Amino acid sequence: MKILVVGSGGREHALAWRLAKGGHELVVAPGNPGIEAVATCVPVAAMDLDGQVRLAIERGVDLVVVGPEAPLCAGLADRLRAAGVPTFGPGADGARLEGSKAFSKQLFARHGIRTAAFRVCGSVADADLAIAELAALAAPARRGVVVKADGLAAGKGVVVADDADQARAAARDMFDGRFGDAGARLVIEQRLGGREVSVMALTDGIRVEILAPAEDHKTLLDGDRGPNTGGMGTVSPAWIDDATLARVRDEVLLPTVAGLASEGVDYRGVLYAGIMIDDAGAPWLLEYNCRFGDPETQPVMARLEGDLGAVLHGAATGELVPGALTWDRRAAVCVVVAAAGYPESPRTGDEVTGLDAGADLTDVIVFHAGTARRGGAVVSAGGRVLGVTAIGDDVGAARVRAYAAVERIGLAGKQFRTDIGARGR
């Protein structure tokens, strides 16, 4: 097949790399310097909806895979399907699962999916009341309250507050415009305890195919300290066992797909569930993303066997056949190399060296996330610059390999966590 992948990050590099290995011809728009090794990159921005539709038609692609959430929320998949192009990614209606936290929490509530108690608030006074109420809830809550901007905020619109004072300050900050219109409405919720896992599932609107789970490391610093980021590293397989994963499928994913369908939403794409497993082993749904995780996709693609292109095409055309994907039994670890200043104000334009040296190691793939070409050099062009991904017989072996490659990468002021994969299972 000829496949167009929309996007330019590490997730899109990992998808293109895996699809190319399946023998498919890849066009990626806009892509990045790493992706050029496996695909034809065309400089059409992800948010240039007209340009993407034109490109898909001009190139006569059999399938479009949309990477990022913003074009999905803006209706790119609807536009492509209207033009007759099979597309993997939900329409704007389904993408509201990620685009509006209020919409998604209300959907979970309507369909009986276990989620933290919440209130949707439109004013400081509402928020203060909700915080007082939610901070007082007992188990399975942890002390504290979580304050979330309703709209898209590049993964930064969530404050996990330890107490009501912090929560009130965060709510005021958001209403004051910290995240622009995304913070005009807030979701305030009970803080849950437990351990997190990211579960991604492919769906054609009816059936689901669960991908190998991965565990993200969201905060900037070792030991889960520091500010939240888009993700500093991932491990697959995650610690979750098969029985708990089956509960995630039966109690979270399948009710979501059925609930969406019952409300007239034909969801064809990824449901990426952020799940908290409580001490009793019950899954709580934190949130959905309407696209593949970044950097979860990197280790997951490293382990995937089978023809991903055929499965994505099946999901896009309503004919998903579950069970077609198999997984390398070994483990994969992805360590994100981020720019100086990330996440607040990442510095760009620094030269990245050692890319070949890193990738020359056996079972190491250096996925580019935020890079650009400047003359003959590769330079940083975003907060998360690379996703250095390695495979090993177990998490420990994969981790050693990934860090050996990270050591070979040169980037002034580079930041990375040293404890990705060190938690054990």
Report the interface residues with ligand GLY, using CB under 6 A.
155, 216, 230-231, 289, 293-294, 296
Q: Is the peptide bond before 322 cis (omega within 30 degrees of 0)?
A: no
Q: Which of 16, 76, 192, 302 binds ligand AMP (CB under 6 A)?
A: 192
Six-digit token string for 410 = 């040169």
Q: Which of 259, 274, 306, 396 binds ligand AMP (CB under 6 A)?
A: 274
The amino acid at residue 259 is G
Between 191 and 303, CB nearer to ligand AMP:
191
> Which residue has its beta carbon closest to ligand GLY?
231
291 binding ligand AMP? (CB under 6 A) = no
Between 286 and 379, CB nearer to ligand GLY:
286
Query: Site for ligand AMP (CB under 6 A): how many residues?
Result: 14
Q: What is the closest distance, in whole angstroms, from the C-beta atom of residue 69 to ligand AMP in the complex?
A: 12
CB 412 within 8 A of CB 346: no
Count of helices and strands (H, E) across the chain: 14, 25
> Which residue has its beta carbon closest to ligand AMP?
287
Rounded Cα distance, 71 and 47, in Å: 5
Rounded Cα distance, 412 and 329, in Å: 36
Rounded Cα distance, 347 and 383, in Å: 7
What are the CA-CA distances from residue 141 to residues 115, 138, 168 (Å)? 11, 6, 18
CB 143 within 8 A of CB 162: yes
Residues 6+ apart with CB under 8 A from 358: 364, 366, 388, 405, 406, 408, 409
Between 219 and 353, CB nearer to ligand GLY:
219
222 binding ligand AMP? (CB under 6 A) = no
Between 209 and 287, CB nearer to ligand AMP:
287
What are the contacts of 34-38 at 24+ separation with CB within 8 A? 34/355, 34/366, 34/367, 34/368, 34/371, 35/8, 35/368
Rounded Cα distance, 150 and 183, in Å: 6
Q: What is the closest distance, in whole angstroms, from the C-beta atom of residue 331 to ligand AMP in the complex?
A: 22
287 binding ligand AMP? (CB under 6 A) = yes
Burial label, 29 (beta-carbon count in 10 A; 0-12, 13-18, 19+): buried
Between 189 and 294, CB nearer to ligand GLY:
294
Q: What is the closest distance, in whole angstroms, from the C-beta atom of residue 106 to ligand AMP in the complex?
A: 15
286 binding ligand AMP? (CB under 6 A) = yes
- Longest CA–CA separation in the chain, Å: 59
Where does this chain touch ligand AMP (CB under 6 A) — which range of 190-198, 310-318, 372-380, 391-399? 190-198
Q: Which residues 133-172 are close enough to bind ligand AMP by CB under 6 A?
A: 146, 148, 158, 160
350 binding ligand AMP? (CB under 6 A) = no
Rounded Cα distance, 28 and 44, in Å: 9
Where does this chain touch ligand AMP (CB under 6 A) — which range of 31-39, 188-196, 261-269, 306-314? 188-196
Binding partner selected for residue 200 from ligand AMP, ligand GLY, none, CB under the kind-specific 5 to 8 Å limit: none
Q: What is the closest distance, in whole angstroms, from the C-beta atom of residue 218 to ligand GLY in the complex?
A: 7
Q: Which residues 110-129 are close enough to bind ligand AMP by CB under 6 A?
A: 116
Six-digit token string for 245 = 């994963």
Q: What is the closest distance, in whole angstroms, from the C-beta atom of residue 97 to ligand AMP in the complex?
A: 11
Binding partner selected for residue 293 from ligand AMP, ligand GLY, none, CB under the kind-specific 5 to 8 Å limit: ligand GLY
Q: What is the closest distance, in whole angstroms, from the C-beta atom of residue 196 to ligand GLY in the complex?
A: 10
Q: Which residues bind ligand AMP (CB under 6 A)?
A: 116, 146, 148, 158, 160, 189-192, 196, 218, 274, 286-287
